């Protein structure tokens, strides 16, 4: 079956895309507005995209009323956000914060969560999350027509600080057996990490690597 994206009406292409690109990590993003009010929401259009500076992207859409989601509005206004990692035990709290709530509502309190201070940016970390990345927005890219209801705003962000819970961290690395990150599949489906295994990469054969 080959499906031409342009033939798909409405949100069908979007739904098929999120069925196909799986599992996606979830960025649970804290931002603040100009008055210092905290906002928290999950985003699975999220990935690590660069090493020096360490960089991530998140992609933020619009609410049904046509306004960009609060996370996007705040991140653009303040240029800062914190990406908190969602683990198995935080799944339900994460889901509560995904509700379409009025601008300015504190989703942290709604989900029974607390904050921990950030060091380099103003938005706080979610204290219950084992990993938080303090980020500064470095670039913005628009996906889709300006003003369209399904326009997305991709924010490229520099990670300026990593918070890693002590028990997960050894020799500069995070232990993959202890983290249990939640994955986002298509529709409303999620995945736990399955069995973890390792593979050695093929030996390098490019002349530069052999020198
Ligand atoms: C697991 C999960 C992943 C999500 N990923 C995205 C995403 O990548 N982009 C997006 O615009 N909305 C995404 N959403 C929806 C937002 O979280 C939701 O619209 C939220 O209300 C936005 O809140 P805000 O207006 O406070 O930023 C996701 C929801 C869930 C539950």
As separate numbers, helices (DSSP H) first and strands (DSSP E) second, the chain gives 6, 13
Nearest CA to ligand 1 atom 23: 41
Cβ count near 193 (within 10 Å): 15
Pocket probe for ligand 1: among 56, 72, 73, 98, the residue whose CB has the most ligand atoms within 8 Å is: 98
Q: From CA 6, how far away is CA 146, in angstroms rounded?
A: 19
Question: In sequence order, which residues have a C-beta less than 8 Å from that of residue 27 and are 6 or more positions away?
Answer: 42, 43, 44, 46, 56, 58, 83, 84
Nearest CA to ligand 1 atom 18: 98
Q: Which helix (H) or strand (E) holds 76?
A: helix 70-78
Nearest CA to ligand 1 atom 28: 43
**pLDDT by position in tens, the chain (length 211):** 999 999 999 899 999 999 999 999 999 999 999 999 999 999 999 999 999 999 999 999 999 899 999 999 999 999 999 999 999 999 999 999 999 888 778 889 899 999 999 999 999 999 999 999 999 999 999 999 999 999 999 999 999 999 999 999 999 999 999 999 999 999 999 999 889 999 999 998 888 777 6
In CATH terms, the superfamily for domain 5-210 is Electron Transport, Fmn-binding Protein; Chain A (2.30.110.10)
3-class SS of residue 105: coil
Ligand 1 and 16: CB distance under 6 A: no
What atom in ligand 1 is closest to the CA of residue 184? 1
CA angle 200, 176, 98 (to 5 degrees): 130
Domain edges within the chain: 5-210
């Amino acid at each position: 079956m080959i499906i031409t994206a342009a033939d798909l009406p409405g949100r069908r292409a979007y739904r098929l895309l999120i069925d196909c690109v799986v599992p996606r990590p979830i960025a649970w993003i804290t931002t603040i507005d100009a008055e210092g009010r905290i906002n928290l929401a999950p985003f699975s259009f999220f990935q690590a995209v660069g090493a020096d500076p360490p960089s991530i992207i998140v992609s933020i859409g619009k609410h049904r009323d046509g306004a960009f989601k609060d996370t996007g509005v705040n991140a653009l206004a303040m240029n800062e956000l914190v990406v908190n990692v969602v683990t198995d035990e935080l799944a339900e709290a994460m889901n509560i914060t995904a509700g379409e709530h009025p601008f300015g509502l504190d989703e942290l309190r709604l989900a029974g969560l607390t904050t921990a201070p950030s060091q380099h940016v103003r938005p706080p970390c979610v204290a219950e999350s084992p990993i938080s990345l303090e980020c500064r927005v470095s670039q913005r890219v628009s996906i889709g027509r300006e003003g369209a209801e399904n326009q997305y705003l991709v924010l490229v962000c520099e990670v300026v600080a990593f918070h890693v819970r002590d028990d997960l961290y050894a020799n500069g690395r995070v232990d993959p057996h202890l983290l249990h990150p939640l994955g986002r599949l298509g529709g409303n489906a999620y995945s736990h990490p399955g069995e973890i295994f390792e593979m050695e990469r093929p030996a390098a054969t490019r002349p530069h690597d052999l020198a």
